[in-house]
Structure 1
């Protein structure tokens, strides 16, 4: 059935995108990262559904997958609203999250709760660039998403979708990194960082060998981050709500704990439970709209996952821009909905 033919298409809706592969990459074997089980994701989906309906959503749309996370989350759950698990797209990769986000946009969703790490959030932004989004951390490197209780994350999304919280008042538009390969009509995006990695191997998509990393362009480089953006944060921090980004060119890296840093070296948390010494050759702040050309041979990683192979002499323009997804401030959205529902609040003070 097409969205236009659905009798409930005008009802306030929240989409839930859950990546079944989040938290299960190779970094579980090479670092101290904790595996994320299906049971954890199922519980989070279940709680987000309850919260979304409590927040005002009358429809909840859940992405489908081969692990049947959505169906398992709904088992035995009695709800006042309509809940639907979409048919799986069948890729069992990040492409499923991209397609689900675009599908939910076309089905009239007013907000999305995305369960996953930086890569999952990037996939959602690729499918729906301007999505009103609650990014819920369920992955290895969680720079972009937040550690939140899924119940209130769902509530906030439901409040935005239903209009109980004004989108303009409770969201901040995130930065986004546009990546355009020279001579190609297609483009990719990232939300945290784009890195040039020497070599042409893309089979194990996650990065665990820091010695192969050559350059980093980061939109978010906060001191409390873990991952490649933590390298940029050590020399030129830039917050998620600050304008622009940073470009860093690296030299060598080492995991030797006895290494004594010099003026050109820093030490950063490059993976959960893992620090490394990094040689910094170049660092500069970037303004919005100013491209940096990363040249092959090598592979471009987008938010920590190998995506684009560049041959010798090939290059890609990497540009930090201000027009990414609209990230929902969960606390502000919940408070706005409560003020609308319970306007007597201040009047009871002092009783």
Structure 2
């Protein structure tokens, strides 16, 4: 498929690996089944078409989530499942997001946790996005009903809810090393070790330093460490830089916190430094160690190597689902101003 047919189009990205990493085995959380994802895709398709989309494109994968979601669904010829890219990693999500961007897709629904949303943004940095929380760490995405999430995406794609009115640009953390650049949506952490390994970080005792864009007190995960000492809401400018108990013991502990670092798990964390960051203020992270991006090990820093991390304001354009639905409904159902009738005897 070279490009979608003309007309307002919604793209759906479903990560078959979301909610199934090693952190689910080391915490009190249950894995997210394929059945949950299939049901969410199906409901999102129904919502997108109801919201005004004339086409829906679904990412392909070896679990055939899209095909299974469409089984028995009467959607005519308006929905296509793309051929999978076949890497079975986050790179698949990046590639399909880039396809959606090139094809002029009007809005994207991404089903997964922070890692999936990050991969979506890596493929299309300012994607008009509805991030659905179906992962292990869900700081960036929202726990929304897929039916109305789909409607909102369809309304934005069709122009019934203008993106300039119902979207806000999220923050993103740019990471630069001698080897290249990368990005995260929630946090960048320097952890101990010399290899990527299982990727997901489940032991917070190895965390040395972090730059966080979203540090909300109600979050679970590594960003909850920063939230305990210096909260930063998702719509606040900038972020926070936190150092934990130093590797060589040279830095004194300023305080000790006990955040929810995993579902069903709290941990004692020593903090030696915490400081608010403005936009575009670079923080140098020095090796040896491994950089995690939104909770997954990605970049090895050897001794003498450094990386710079900076919070910037030009990430995905996140769709306010409630605002998009309300605006589309106001335009669709042209009622006059509501009137309250007086009861008998009232003046």
Question: TM bucket by the smaller chain?
Answer: over 0.9
Correspondence for 2:283: 292
Please tell me whether the aligned partners of residues 211 and 252 of structure 1 are also in contact (alpha carbons under 8 angstroms).
Answer: no
Asked if residue 324 in structure 1 is aligned to residue 320 in structure 2, the reply is no
Supply the distance in 2 between the matched residues of 1:123 and 1:206 (Cα, whole angstroms). Answer: 15
SS at match of 1:323: coil
Aligned-pair CA distance for 1:149: 0.2
Please tell me whether the aligned partners of residues 254 and 271 of structure 2 are also in contact (alpha carbons under 8 angstroms).
Answer: no
Supply the distance in 1 between the matched residues of 2:149 and 2:285 (Cα, whole angstroms). Answer: 37
Correspondence for 2:173: 177
Correspondence for 2:293: 302
Supply the distance in 2 between the matched residues of 1:62 and 1:15 (Cα, whole angstroms). Answer: 6
Correspondence for 2:242: 248
Asked if residue 68 in structure 1 is aligned to residue 59 in structure 2, the reply is no
Q: Segments of 4+ in structure 1 off by > 4 A?
A: none
SS at match of 1:136: strand
Please tell me whether the aligned partners of residues 176 and 182 of structure 2 are also in contact (alpha carbons under 8 angstroms).
Answer: yes
Correspondence for 1:197: 191
Aligned-pair RMSD on alpha carbons? 1.5
Correspondence for 2:222: 228
Q: CA distance change for structure 1 residues 349 and 72 in 2, over 3 Å: closer, same or farther?
A: farther
Please tell me whether the aligned partners of residues 136 and 146 of structure 1 are also in contact (alpha carbons under 8 angstroms).
Answer: yes
Supply the distance in 2 between the matched residues of 1:28 and 1:100 (Cα, whole angstroms). Answer: 26
Supply the distance in 2 between the matched residues of 1:252 and 1:137 (Cα, whole angstroms). Answer: 34
Please tell me whether the aligned partners of residues 200 and 298 of structure 1 are also in contact (alpha carbons under 8 angstroms).
Answer: yes
> Match for 1:23 among 16, 19, 23?
19
Aligned-pair CA distance for 1:80: 5.0
TM-score normalised to structure 1 length: 0.93
Supply the distance in 2 between the matched residues of 1:178 and 1:304 (Cα, whole angstroms). Answer: 15
> Match for 1:91 among 78, 83, 87?
87
SS at match of 1:327: strand
Unmatched runs of 5 consecutive residues or more in structure 2: 248-252, 343-347
Aligned length: 337
Supply the distance in 2 between the matched residues of 1:176 and 1:263 (Cα, whole angstroms). Answer: 28
Please tell me whether the aligned partners of residues 252 and 278 of structure 1 are also in contact (alpha carbons under 8 angstroms).
Answer: no
> Match for 2:10 among 10, 14, 23?
14
Aligned-pair CA distance for 1:211: 1.2
Unmatched runs of 5 consecutive residues or more in structure 1: 254-261
SS at match of 1:346: coil
SS at match of 1:16: strand
Aligned-pair CA distance for 1:346: 2.8
Correspondence for 2:126: 130
Q: CA distance change for structure 1 residues 349 and 228 in 2, over 3 Å: closer, same or farther?
A: same
Q: CA distance change for structure 1 residues 349 and 156 in 2, over 3 Å: closer, same or farther?
A: farther
Correspondence for 2:250: none
